[in-house]
Structure 1
Amino acid sequence: MLADYQLKMPKNINAGEHALEQLAGIIANGVKKIVIFTDKGILGAGLVDVPKAIIEEAGIDYTIISDIPAEPNYHEAQAMIDEFKKQEADFIIAIGGGSVMDVAKLSSILATDEYTVKDLLDEPLLAKKQITSLMIPTTAGTGAEATPNSIVGVPEKDLKIGIVNPEMIADYVILDSRMIKNLPKPIAAATGVDALCHAIECFTSAKANPISNTFALEALDLIMNNLVEACTNPEALKAKSDMLLGSFYAGVAITSSGTTAVHALSYPLGGKYHIAHGVSNAMLLTPVMKFNEPAIKDLLAIAYDRVVKNGNKDLSVDEKSGYMINQLEEMVKVLEIPTSLKTFNVPEEDLDGLVAAGMEVTRLLVNNKREVTPKDARKIYLEIM
């Protein structure tokens, strides 16, 4: 465990079934022009209607940018940022999933022409916060509303890269379960497992610490005990609300700890084959946890004691650890998330390239408690081929 650690998180968090009503007070202090970042699906589902009505009631000028593609590369992100800069706004609202929030966060630090997204790929700390930002997630979720990270594709490397800059942390967050009530099951499941990965990876990270563990364990408890119901029952607002909190807490844990080999090895799957981030994480979750088990079984036993209600406390560490890994595997199965790259027509002859790309994600691989060698990465990828 680290001897020194810190926590960075959004300044103002509003949560609850009617948290959206707090928007009126947030924008009442001199906001002149708002840009709403969202996507066509969110817009078409009517999820922007309530925030838009509140903004109109306040008499504040606004523009909606809704052309954000799923999991954009850095060229696509820059195009959205260039459109944003034309609006000369002083307040950003992101209503959507991780891609929407990531572009909005980048916009909040790239409102001038001094730097571009491409510049931040190599020097992420160049830019500073210039525009106040509010994140309203519509998935539970990526945790993007809590983190200083923005994930963009880099086509020339067939890879996704995380731009990490504390200046991107949101000023405001609204967690309202109505925003995820009618989320389609495949999206709810994939993003929910992404949040699950954040929690378990941060708790078992080499950079874990008392602060990150507080959030990661609470996130793991909320997510593992609510994910299936939240994904399968549209009326389960309590479970959905708990998932939103769990996703947010897991995002906070990322800022103090960090994800590990699950995320590191998943980035090439999204970068080259455009497999949804949550799906690629779900594929790798069990193989990586089994690989890591010799180094993390004590931690998984602690997680068992926290997460498994009425569990048998007399089980051995090995039994508790094995139970937790089996539960992770079972949840992915019950949620019907693909677990084989065959589903996406990934040929085995691409294996060498996958291994090479995965091993480049050193920012996350250094967090893994068990060292991952190219030989190890190859074996893990083969398990999902």
Structure 2
Amino acid sequence: MLTEYQLRMPKHIIAGEHALEKLAEIINSDVKKIVLFTDKGILATGLVDLPKTIIEKAGIDYTIISDIPAEPSYHEAQSMVDLFKKEQADFIIAIGGGSVMDVAKLSSILATDEYQVKDLLENPLLAKKQVNSLMIPTTAGTGAEATPNSIVGVPEKDLKIGIVNPEMIADYVILDSRMIKNLPKPIAAATGVDALCHAIECFTSTKANPISNTFALEALDLIMNNIIEACTDPQALKAKSDMLLGSFYAGVAITASGTTAVHALSYPLGGKYHIAHGVSNAMLLTPVMKFNEPAIKELLAAAYDRVIKGGNQSLSIAEKSAHMINQLEKIVTVLEIPTSLKTFNVPSEDLDGLVAAGMEVTRLLVNNKREVTPEDAKKIYLEIL
């Protein structure tokens, strides 16, 4: 565990029933023009209607940018940033999932022509906050509303890269369960398991510390005990609200700690095969946890004590650890998330390329409690091929 640690998080978080109505208080008279980032799917659902009404009632000029693709490349992200710059806006609102929020965060630090997204791939700390931002997540979720991260594809490397810059942390966050009420089950499940991965990975990271553990364990508790109900029952607003909060807490844990080999090895799956981020994480969650178990057994047992309601406290550390991994696996199974790359027609001859790409994600692999060698990565990938 780190002996020196810190926490960065959004300045103002509004959560709970009817939280969205507080938007009127945020966009006060100082705001002259707003760019509202979203995507075509969110726009079609009507989720943007209430924020639009509030903005219009306040008499503030606004433009909607909705051409954001799912899991954009850095070229695609730059094209969205360029559209934003033309608007000369002084406030950003992002309504959507991780891709929407990540593009909005990049726009908040690239409002001038000094740098481009490509420049941040090598040196993410170059750019500084130029425009204040508000994140309103529509999944529970990526945790992007809490993090200083923006994930972009790098096609020439068949990889995704995380641009990490504290200046991208949102100024405001609104967590309103109405925004995820009608989320389709496959999306709710995949994004929910992504949040689950954030929580368990941050808790078992080499960079874990008392601050990150506070958020990671609370996130793990909220997510593991609500995810199935939240994803399968459209009326389960309490479970959905808890998931939204758990996803946010897991995002905060990322800022104070960091994810590990699950995320590291999943990046090539999204980068080359465009498998949804949450799905690729779900595939790797159990194999990586089983690989890590010798190094994280006591931590998994501690998580059992916190998360498993009415659990048998007389179980040994090994038994509690095994139970936790079984529960993680059960969640992925019950939510019917694919667990084999065969579903996506990934050929076995691509194995060596996957290993090479996965081993490049050293930013996250260094967080793994058990060292992952290329041979280890190969065995893990083989489990899902």
The residue number in structure 1 matching 2:378 is 378
CA distance in 2, matches of 1:226, 1:46: 26
CA-CA distance at 1:17 after TM superposition: 1.7
Task: List aligned pairs for 1:1-385, cutoff 5 A.
Answer: 1-385=1-385
Q: Number of aligned pairs?
A: 385
CA distance in 2, matches of 1:116, 1:351: 33
CA distance in 2, matches of 1:268, 1:185: 25
Report the aligned-residue RMSD: 0.3
Q: Which runs of no fewer than 5 residues in structure 2 stay unpaired?
A: none
CA distance in 2, matches of 1:85, 1:59: 22
Report SS of the residue matched to 1:294: helix
CA distance in 1, matches of 2:190, 2:278: 4
Aligned-residue identity in percent: 87
CA distance in 2, matches of 1:230, 1:60: 35
CA distance in 2, matches of 1:279, 1:309: 27
Q: Deviations along 1:264-302, whole A, 9 cap, x unmatched?
A: 000000000000000000000000000000000000000
CA distance in 2, matches of 1:30, 1:100: 25
CA-CA distance at 1:166 after TM superposition: 0.1
TM-score, length-scaled by structure 2:
1.00
CA distance in 1, matches of 2:116, 2:17: 38
The one-letter code sitting in structure 1 at the alignment partner of 2:156 is E
The one-letter code sitting in structure 1 at the alignment partner of 2:263 is H
The one-letter code sitting in structure 1 at the alignment partner of 2:10 is P
CA distance in 2, matches of 1:88, 1:160: 29
Runs of 4+ in 1 over 3 A off after TM superposition: none
Q: Which runs of no fewer than 5 residues in structure 1 stay unpaired?
A: none
Q: Deviations along 1:150-188, whole A, 9 cap, x unmatched?
A: 000000000000000000000000000000000000000
CA-CA distance at 1:5 after TM superposition: 0.4
CA distance in 1, matches of 2:38, 2:230: 23
CA-CA distance at 1:40 after TM superposition: 0.3
CA-CA distance at 1:6 after TM superposition: 0.4
CA distance in 1, matches of 2:27, 2:121: 32
CA-CA distance at 1:372 after TM superposition: 0.1
CA distance in 2, matches of 1:216, 1:292: 18
The one-letter code sitting in structure 1 at the alignment partner of 2:223 is I
The one-letter code sitting in structure 2 at the alignment partner of 1:291 is F
CA distance in 1, matches of 2:217, 2:313: 17
CA-CA distance at 1:316 after TM superposition: 0.3
Q: Deviations along 1:314-361, whole A, 9 cap, x unmatched?
A: 100000000000000000000000000000000000000000000000
The one-letter code sitting in structure 1 at the alignment partner of 2:241 is S
